Amino acid sequence: MSVREILEYPDPRLREVAKPVQRVDAEIRALVDDMAETMYDAPGVGLAAPQIGVGLRVFVIDIAAEDEPSDLKVFINPEIVTTEGNQTWNEGCLSFPGVSEEIKRAERVTVRALGRDGKRFELEADGLLAVAIQHENDHLNGVLMIDKLSALKKRMMGRKLAKRKSSPSAEA
**DSSP characters over 61-76:** E----TTS----EEEE
Query: Of 8, 124, 136, 171, which residue is the catalytic one?
Result: 136
How far is residue 26 CA from its own chain's centroid? 22
**What single-letter amino acid sits at 142?**
G
Is 136 one of the annotated active-site residues of the chain? yes
Q: In Å, how far are 6, 155, 162, 165, 171 from 159, measured between CA atoms?
A: 21, 6, 5, 10, 17
Residues known to be catalytic: 136
